[in-house]
Amino acid sequence: MTQLDAKIPSGPLAQKWDRHRAAIKLVSPTNKRKFEILVVGSGLAGASAAATLAEQGYSVKCFCFQDSPRRAHSIAAQGGINAAKNYQNDGDSIYRLFYDTIKGGDFRSREANVYRLAQVSVNIIDHCVAQGVPFAREYGGLLANRSFGGAQVSRTFYARGATGQQLLLGAYQALSRQIGLKQVQMIPRADMLELVLVDGQAKGIVVRDSVTGKISSHSGDAVVLATGGYGNVFNLSTYARGSNATAIWRAYKKGALFANPCFTQIHPTCIPVSGDYQSKLTLMSESLRNDGRCWVPKKAGDKRAADAIPEEERDYYLERLYPSYGNLAPRDISSRAAKRVCDEGRGVGPSGLGVYLDFSDALKRLGEATIRERYGNLFDIYHEITGENAYQAPMRIYPAIHYTMGGLWVDYNLMSNVPGLFVVGEANFSDHGANRLGASALMQGLADGYFVLPYTIGHYLAGSKKVKPSVESAEFRQAESETEARIARLLGIRGKRTVSDIHKQLGKILWENCGMARNRQGLQDALQKIPALREEFWGGVTVPGEGKDLNQSLEKALRVADFLELGELLCRDALAREESCGCHLREEYQTPEGECKRNDEEYAYAAAWQYAGETSAPVLCKEPLIYEELPMATRSYK
């Protein structure tokens, strides 16, 4: 078993980061350009890291699977980005953002990382404004804020309903500037299919050019994975269709530990599923819950239209259950509340899997013009998809997979247990514990990429021997031939089932057994079904076309092959964690009201899984979570 050392600096919490930065090794300006860093992924974390490292003088290669770095799925984030600026004079502070994030994560995140995140949050806003990000402003010209779930202050900065787009374009432009200056070599339409270790250190990757199908190797002094989350393991999610876990899964199989895989966020407000053909689910931003009220009929089976149900026969269940946070209760809690009322037969819409998100009070109070200004594009998206007008009738929403808190294990320096392999953004596990608060994903991605990794990677490089191995070396040759063999095997099966069909089935198994509520029996069943499905995949899938060509079926098959392994680890982790916390509700461990019952005595740790080969079960390594500053408390939003 790998002994985990989180390398948390000593000293008082508030001084750890400053003291660490002062103590870590530096690389001199003239030496920086001699180091080559491979950044995989070009979303908020990847683009900001690649741009900043290049500004510092490192040679950078950046890879993305899309046709342009500007397409990364950070672009779809709608609501906002948190920062402890206290511009609203409502009592916010770094400490309060830190506290809210730890509490929101149900005391399953690493305290020192979260404190640092809250500290650098303020720098992010400054930097993005300097880049020209058009945040919302007040008439006086100062920045505007809105509220988000799990907080009682207004600390969320936003750009209408497209905050992720504007922040990503800021990072993309910074990256583009470095590409223009030839400090970054950008390699789009490239799928990372293997991580290459030389003497136990991460020294390169193998990629497939998705236009020509050519397999090639790239070597570097360090590898940074910024490849996002793995929510598409569920098939139906709010992720982009191309989002995948292959990079982090390949790293896992090369020895990097995978932490808390079962911590997957289910977002309460998405447009409900309408049919079996559906390819993705669309989020309706959490910011809508600032002005929208969630309700269902009080009576089960009430099929009347929303406007025919009088006020006294409606159950505004979030306001009833959580009076102090109301509709702004955190995501895990709001999702489960929606599931519960639907399970009671009170769900709305044709499938009964939906609740109302009603703006009529806000429309009366503020007028349509104000609502349109705040949420116009979200109401438009809702209209495009459903054909319904949410200014006139309430939206119908239902929870959907949206984010993964779990990811590759990293230490305080964002380095995995594999030396030289860094993991940033959603791809790592550290900051959000068992539940992420709204508007904190953008914050973490940019914190890691702009303000944390560019410091900590220098410490590693300064201390490492500078030997960039040749891509002709045996390690690279072997990784390439293994990748070629995997591709040949997939193309050679020529069975009867499509990749999408098997992916759908995997998603269904996971959603039913490892979704909003989990129990021992269901997880054990899933652990039987997934390996069987995997066998069916390798025995009976059909992947048309050739390897040395643009072949989207092959791309998808490679990704789903990895999801079929990852899905099993998800269930294994959920089964091993015999407690409920945040998003992870084990039905055996809940309060009479259906809230999470944590077990801090036995489970106050990050569960980091170590790959042990095809035939053995992975090994559970534990990083105890020690709270120096905050006493662990029961989370309450009542």
Query: Which of 116, 146, 155, 160 contacts other proteins by CB under 8 A?
Result: 160
Task: Report if residue 240 touches other proteins, rule: CB under 8 A.
Answer: yes
Of the pair 219, 444, the CB lying nearest other proteins is at 444
Return the structure tokens found at 515.
Answer: 């979704």
Burial pattern 221-255, b for ≥16 Cβ within 10 A else e, equals: bbbbbbbbbbbbbbbbbbbbebbbbbbbbbbbbbb
- Single-letter amino acid code for the residue at 315: D
Inter-axis angle of helices 246-253 and 552-576, nearest 10: 60
The answer to whether residue 11 forms part of the interface with other proteins (CB under 8 A) is: no
Closest by CA to 79, choosing from 145, 3, 34, 140, is 145
Out of 5, 18, 67, 587, the only residue in the binding site for other proteins (CB under 8 A) is 67
Element (H or E) spanning 130, and its range? helix 111-131
Binders in 529-568 for other proteins, by CB under 8 A: 542, 544-545, 549-550, 552-553
Q: Which stretch binds other proteins (CB under 8 A): 140-148, 306-314, 416-424, 596-604?
A: 140-148
- Rounded Cα distance between 461 and 97, Å, is 32
In degrees, to the nearest 5, what angle opens at C-alpha 635 toward C-alphas 118 and 516?
A: 95
Catalytic-role residue among 108, 331, 436, 534: 331
Residue reference for tokens 């009201």: 593
Which one of 1, 15, 25, 132 is in contact with other proteins (CB under 8 A)? 132
Report in angstroms how near the CB of residue 586 gets to other proteins at its nearest: 32
Q: Which of 2, 15, 28, 278 binds other proteins (CB under 8 A)?
A: 278
Q: Return left, alpha or beta for 441; rule: phi > 0 is left, psi -120 to 50 is alpha, else beta.
A: alpha
User: Rule CB under 8 A: which of 169-198 touch other proteins?
Assistant: 169, 172-174, 176-177, 179-181, 186, 188
**Interface mask (CB under 8 A) for other proteins, residues 468-497, using x and -?**
--------------------------x-x-
Long-range contacts of 322-328 (CB under 8 A, 24+ apart): 322/637, 322/638, 323/638, 324/152, 324/637, 324/638, 325/149, 325/150, 325/152, 325/637, 327/289, 327/290, 327/292, 327/293, 327/294, 328/147, 328/148, 328/149, 328/150, 328/151, 328/289, 328/290
Q: Which is nearer to other proteins, 173 or 216 (CB)?
A: 173
Site membership for other proteins, residue 311 (CB under 8 A): no
Nearer to other proteins, 325 or 375 (CB): 375
225 sits near other proteins (criterion: CB under 8 A): no
Taking CB under 8 A as the criterion, the residue among 41, 46, 69, 445 binding other proteins is 69
User: In this structure, what token pair is assigned to residue 388?
Assistant: 């319904």
55 binds other proteins (CB under 8 A): yes
Q: Which residues contact 443 (CB under 8 A, 6 or more apart)?
A: 81, 82, 83, 117, 121, 124
Binders of other proteins in range 18-47 (CB under 8 A): none
Contacts of 524 (CB under 8 A, 6+ apart): 575
Among 17, 107, 135, 258, binds other proteins (CB under 8 A): 135
Beta carbon nearer to other proteins, 214 or 496: 496
CA dihedral 360, 366, 367, 372 (to 10 degrees): -90
Complex with other proteins: residue 46 or 618, whichever CB lies closer? 46
> Which residue from 16, 171, 23, 21 is spatially nearest to 94, judged by alpha carbons?
16
User: Which amino acid, residue 5?
Assistant: D
**Chosen residue from 22, 23, 130, 308 binding other proteins by CB under 8 A:** 130
**Which three-class secondary structure state does DSSP give residue 89?**
coil
Q: Binding to other proteins (CB under 8 A): which residues in 409-468?
A: 450-451, 454
Among 102, 118, 151, 159, binds other proteins (CB under 8 A): 159
Q: Least distance to other proteins from the beta carbon of 543, Å?
A: 8
In this structure, what token pair is assigned to residue 586?
């084990």
Decide whether 178 or 428 has the Cβ nearer to other proteins. Answer: 178
Smallest gap, in angstroms, from Cβ of residue 236 to other proteins?
12
Rule CB under 8 A: is residue 500 a binding residue for other proteins?
yes
Active site residue 374: no
In this complex, which beta carbon is closest to other proteins, that of residue 550 or of residue 632?
A: 550
**Site size for other proteins (CB under 8 A):** 83
DSSP state of 590: B
> Cα–Cα distance between 381 and 188 in angstroms, integer?
29
User: In this chain, which stretch among 70-78, 303-311, 337-345, 621-629 interacts with other proteins, using CB under 8 A?
Assistant: 70-78
Min dist CB 398 to other proteins, Å, is: 16
By the rule CB under 8 A, 384 interacts with other proteins: yes
Judged by CB, which is closer to other proteins: 521, or 552?
552
Annotate each residue in 341-380 with x if it binds other proteins (CB under 8 A) or - if it does not, as one string.
---------------------------------------x
314-315 vs 355-358, strand pairing mode: unpaired
Q: Which residues are catalytic?
A: 331
